[in-house]
Amino acid sequence: MRRTVIVAGLAALMGTTAAAQDIGVSMARFDDNFLTVLRVGMEEQAASLGVNLQVEDAQNDVAKQLDQINNFIASGVDAIIVNAVDTSATQAMSDAAAAAGVPLVYVNREPINVDSLPDTQAFVASNEKDSGTLQTQEVCRLFKEAGKAEANVYVIMGELSNQAAVMRTQDIKDVIGTPDCSFIKIIDEQTSNWQRDQAQNLMTNWLSTGTPFDGVIANNDESAIGAIQALKAAGVDMASVVVAGIDATQDALAAMQAGDLDVTVFQDAAGQGAGSLDAAIRLSKGESVDQKVYIPFQLVTPANIGDFLAKN
């Protein structure tokens, strides 16, 4: 008797949640420029669809993130969206969600188990293969345009535990490995942990070695801006170096308008946020979703900057 009451109660509860869906979101961190645009894009999409969104901040802590996911599962959400802190620690999250039968969508950062995701899980992002490739190809084109027979560059990497940083750096090496761009040589590569301040100090340290160079390729815009600030402080003529970033943040676009940043790549943060929410809703309704949903990257240069000013 009591059991039927509980079952009925549960059924009623599930009935109400099905009407207005509850989706749990665990973001790697709240205080990241790009991830904030993504999160806001997700929240706006949720508001327009009437979906209840509960967003948690994992504060760059892998263990905290897994706890948040387990809490979401325990509170009976319809689907979970994860922006992974550490892309190599996602198997446990996939397993926990799959065991509980809750759909899971990874957004922006590619999980290590992306090729073995169960049917109720998906990955929404831009293809990192494109970002560094578009970026470095444009740098290569600019060097050729300037008539350089050989060019030396510094590479500023993002956080080394992050798949995007690894991928984007590999993209750079792949492009300069092609015969077309093999005249480019990397002098040194170091990490700035995506941070402007660290990139600024790193660039000044490089400048102090006095090695002549032609460009700086950074894994993200914040690092590129840090390099620009160091270069300007040292009195380097910005027309003589090529500086490239990725993300097309407002700060970066302003730097490009000022003639300091030469190349950046637009990653549609809001589009990824909205896309991940759509995928989560469809999975929670039992519909099938492609395992990898790609939102395309776009190259941004002074020529087409006008199209992107209002976007990120």
Partner 1 sequence: MAQSAQGLGGLTYDASKKARPPELNVFLALVLIVAAFEAIGRLLIGDSFLFNTRDNVDTLFNQQRLQIIILQVAIVGIIAIGVTQVIITGGIDLSSGSVVGATAMVAMSFAQTALVNGQPNPKAIFGPGFMDLPVIVPVVVGLACGLVAGLVNGALIAYTRIPPFIATLGMMVFARGFSRWWSNGNPISFPTESYAAIGRGMMPVVIFVALAVLFHCVMTYTRYGKHCYAIGSNEAAARMSGIDVTHHKVLVYTLAAMLAALAAIVLSSKNLTAQAGMGVMYELDAIAMAVIGGVSLSGGRGSILGTVLGALIFGVIISGFTFLKLDAYYQEMVKGVIIVAAVVLDQWRQRSRLQG
Nearer to partner 1, 179 or 210 (CB): 210
| Residue 86: DSSP 8-state | S
Give the interface segment with partner 1, choosing from 73-81, 110-118, 136-144, 202-210 (CB under 8 A).
202-210
Nearer to partner 1, 197 or 287 (CB): 197
The rounded distance, in Å, linking the Cα atoms of 106 and 102 is 13
CA angle 283, 284, 289 (to 5 degrees): 5
Nearer to partner 1, 58 or 134 (CB): 58
Positions 258 through 287 that interact with partner 1 (CB under 8 A): 258
Q: Residue 220: what are its φ and ψ, rounded to 5°?
A: -150, 170
Residue 2 vs residues 14, 106, 108, 173: alpha-carbon distances, Å? 18, 39, 45, 66
Nearer to partner 1, 30 or 183 (CB): 30
Find the shortest distance in angstroms from Cβ 14 to partner 1.
32
Find the shortest distance in angstroms from Cβ 117 to partner 1.
28
Cβ-based burial of 158 (10 A; exposed 0-12, middle 13-18, buried ≥19): buried
Residue 234 sits in the site that holds partner 1 (CB under 8 A): yes
Residue 98 vs residues 79, 92, 93, 152: alpha-carbon distances, Å? 11, 10, 8, 48
Residue 136 sits in the site that holds partner 1 (CB under 8 A): no
Give the interface segment with partner 1, choosing from 75-83, 89-97, 208-216, 275-283 (CB under 8 A).
208-216
Bridge-partner residues for 263, per DSSP? 244
Residue 239 sits in the site that holds partner 1 (CB under 8 A): no
Nearer to partner 1, 137 or 223 (CB): 223
Nearer to partner 1, 109 or 196 (CB): 196
Contact positions vs partner 1 (CB under 8 A): 29-33, 35-36, 39-40, 57, 188, 190-191, 196-197, 200-202, 204-210, 226, 229, 233-234, 250-251, 254, 257-258, 309
